[in-house]
A = this chain, B = another copy of it.
């Protein structure tokens, strides 16, 4: 295995060339029938020759002939028992042909089955299939694993997590997109990049689908949201079917003419997919010799994602809101729906909240009588089918948390951990494994500290532990917690002070569940919205709130004007332009100031 940092150093320095198509070369060699992966056992010379041709073409990375060498695909040829043999042989063949300088990538393609809920392949099954193949590839000595040609981000998630569990090896992962720049299940390039980055792949990108020209935009869009290395593996143009045979019409020269644009868009590795040959890769190699990768600058903003959409959270954009209404604790009808396994009510609540402009939907299904894990899993599956907002997985049950994270085919927020070490360990492990952001509450085994400084100490501990676990600072949210103003009035503003401290000293994002402030008092919306305005001014990034309350949005939209998040008050004016201007104030100061000058 190549050391990760050595690979990074290489990528920082130059553009690498991945090899081209295996299928096209098998076809050229007359191998048009049978299981292509079985050739690793019975057509070794052909496979080795093809690898050698790519090595000779100057490719820096040669991958194993194992695209379909997983248990499910091999079963199509009744070879499901030969996963180990085939993958082991495939690695050996590449290794025999690759010189000292060439990296060996273990190829992992899709299972060919559709993942639940589109199909019926469960996350756990997919995981097992990928784990089995990856384990053999890694143990056989590949330098890198290349998960490729995936069309469902959820399948990519299962594969990546399986590879991470199988061994410590750099991971490449590429998905395929249609001409609308969406994957089969609707993910766009930003979302693919966001989810793969969160899962910790080393190099992410796009392969197959269409030719290099259409890939430039995808690479650019990925590059706009991530500082990860990017790989582009285009086909040799769009496929044309003639007499039942697929042809790709881009000449090596034509293909190479797009390389510079791909690199400028952010690509670090250029490979070839369907229709590409050693001739293509040789000319591409010649082209990249004189080109340098663009410098990746760390993205300072925070990202969450649903299956289909990425949500950017940053000081320069309008305030994002977490909708809190999927919570059975105080809503009897939701509690009953959960007990009755009637998840459509939860879906309706999710849709309503998104229609009310909530940006993230919190999912809490904690009802004492139910099996929370399965309810959480099903709720996440159902809710993410009907909305495109990222989810917040809200539970204190670690099993339910993990099931929710598996089911969530985006980059969710885990709500939440507190500052207790045993709690932190479990939640951070899950966040890192499933590519989630975390929400840390400033409380520990001793409860919620009264003073801002004490809450800050817990926040600092959470942040430090999360960073140790390898989470990015951008993926850490802190909730400084609200005490009830009615009962503990003297500490009402400690929450606000704590937000200021956390923002200033830790530079992480902040979240606040607002409504508790007014517990037990009349006209709660008034107190809540005023408190919200103060918190936003103090640097609150995301309120957790009931998005149906107009007053809260009035404050958010006003605060966004005042803090510059709503540039030129565009959203404010659009939102309120039709409303009757209720006030006719005098321009006292203005006039006075002019007078006095």
Inter-chain CA distance A91–B282, complex, in Å, is: 118
Contacts of A486 in B (CB 8 A): 569
Is the CB–CB distance between B513 and A530 below 8 Å?
no
Q: Using Cβ atoms and an 8 Å threshold, which residues of chain B touch A423?
A: 596
Provide the residues of chain B in CB contact with A575, threshold 8 Å. Answer: 523
A590: B residues at CB distance < 8 A: 484, 516, 519
A561 lies within 8 A of B490 (CB): no
A441 CA to B592 CA, complexed, in Å: 10
| Chain B residues, CB < 8 A from A597 | 443, 445, 447
The CA of A114 and the CA of B447, in the complex, are separated in Å by: 67
Residues of B within 8 A of A482 (CB): 589
In the complex, A303 has a CB within 8 A of chain B: no
Instruction: Tell me if A577 is interfacial: C-beta within 8 Å of chain B.
Output: yes
How many Å lie between the Cα of A533 and that of B528 in the bound state?
A: 11
**A301 CB–B CB distance under 8 Å:** no
Smallest Cβ-Cβ distance to A328: which chain B residue = B586
A295 adjacent to chain B (CB < 8 Å): no
Chain B residues contacting A526 (CB-CB under 8 Å) are 554-555, 557-558, 576
Q: A515-B585, A586-B331, A589-B513 given as contacts; is B523 within 8 A of A493 (CB)?
A: no
- Chain A 522-562, CB-CB to B under 8 Å as 1, else 0, gives 11111111110110111000001110010000110111011
CA distance A15 to B582 in the complex (A): 61
Q: Is A572 an interface residue (CB 8 A)?
A: yes
A242 close to B (CB within 8 Å): no
The reply on A10 being an interface residue by CB < 8 A is no
Q: In this assembly, does A567 line the interface, its C-beta being within 8 Å of a C-beta of chain B?
A: yes
Does A87 make an interface contact (CB < 8 A)?
A: no
Contact partner of A528 (CB less than 8 A), chosen from B330, B394, B583, is: B583
Given contacts A489-B561, A492-B564, A558-B527, contact A516 B589 (CB under 8 A): yes
Interface residues of A in 577-597 (CB under 8 A from B): 577-579, 581-593, 595-597
User: Is A521's CB under 8 angstroms from B489's CB?
Assistant: no
Contact B418 A586 (CB under 8 A): no
Is the CB of A573 closer than 8 A to any CB of chain B?
yes
Q: Is the CB of B595 within 8 A of A396?
A: yes
Which A residues from 382 to 398 make CB contacts under 8 A with B? Answer: 394, 396
Q: Which residues of B contact A579 (CB under 8 A)?
A: 522-523
Q: Which residues of B contact A5 (CB under 8 A)?
A: none
Contact between A562 and B521, CB atoms less than 8 A apart: no
Is there contact, CB below 8 Å, between B554 and A522? Answer: no
Please report the C-alpha to C-alpha distance between residue A470 and residue B82 in the assembled complex, in whole angstroms. 96
Q: Nearest CB to that of A331 among chain B residues?
A: B586
With A546-B583, A557-B526 already in contact, the answer to whether A513 and B588 are too (CB < 8 A) is yes
Cβ of A324 within 8 Å of any chain B Cβ, yes or no, is yes
A481 interface residue per 8 A CB criterion = yes
Closest B-chain residue to A544, C-beta based? B588
Q: What 1/0 flags go to A417-458 for Cβ under 8 Å of B?
A: 010000100000000000000000101010110000000000
> A329 touching B573 by the CB < 8 A rule?
no
Residues of B within 8 A of A492 (CB): 561-564
| Interface presence of A568 (CB below 8 A) | yes
Q: Which of A447-501 contact B (CB under 8 A)?
A: 447-448, 479, 481-482, 484-486, 489-490, 492-493, 496
Judge whether A173 is part of the interface by a CB distance below 8 angstroms.
Answer: no
Taking a contact as CB atoms under 8 Å apart, the answer to whether B591 and A330 are in contact is yes
For A445, list chain B residues within 8 Å (CB). Answer: 597
A327 interfacial contact with B, CB 8 Å: yes
Quick check: A559 and B534 within 8 Å, CB to CB?
yes
> Least Cβ distance of A515 to chain B in Å?
4
Smallest CB-CB A-B distances: 9 pairs: A530-B558, A523-B576, A515-B585, A330-B586, A533-B533, A513-B589, A534-B537, A526-B554, A522-B576
A/B interface sample: 22 pairs, CB < 8 A:
A330-B587, A396-B592, A416-B596, A423-B596, A441-B592, A443-B593, A485-B561, A486-B569, A489-B561, A493-B562, A513-B589, A515-B588, A521-B569, A522-B581, A524-B581, A525-B583, A526-B555, A527-B572, A533-B555, A537-B538, A545-B585, A549-B583
